[in-house]
Amino acid sequence: MTTPTTAATTAAPDTAGMRQPDPLRQAACLRAAKTELAQLRGRINEAAAFIHDSDQDLSARCALAQLLGLPTPTTTAPCDTARATANRTAGAT
C-alpha cells in the first residue's frame, strides 16, 4: 500500500541550483521591448493625426476616437480655422 503525498511532505523546488538571468539575453529582450514600444507610439501618432485631419470623414474620425477612448473631434478644429483664414487672406490679394 502506498502512502498519500501531502504538501507538507513534498520537497520545495531547489532554487539554489537555478541560473542567474543572462545579462546579454536581458539586454536583447529590453531592446526588443523598446523597439515594440516605438512602433506602438508611431501607430498611436498616426491614429491621432487621422483623428485630427479635417480632410477625412468626420464619422470615421469620431468612430476611431471612440474606439481608442479618445475625445471625439469637433467639426472645426483651431487649425482648420487658421487654414480657412489664411486661404481667405491669400485669395483677397
Report which DSSP code applies to 56.
S
Predicted local confidence at residue 20, as pLDDT: 73
Q: Cα separation of 58 and 64, whole Å?
A: 10
Hey, what's the cell of 70?
A: 479618445
Predicted local confidence at residue 39, as pLDDT: 97
User: pLDDT per residue over 10-66, tens digit each?
Assistant: 555 666 666 777 889 999 999 999 999 999 999 999 999 999 999 999 999 999 999
Q: Is 47 exposed, middle or buried (0-12, 13-18, 19+ CB in 10 A)?
A: middle
pTM for this entry = 0.52
Contact 75, 57 (CB under 8 A): no
Contact 66, 72 (CB under 8 A): yes
Q: Is the pLDDT of residue 2 over 70?
A: no
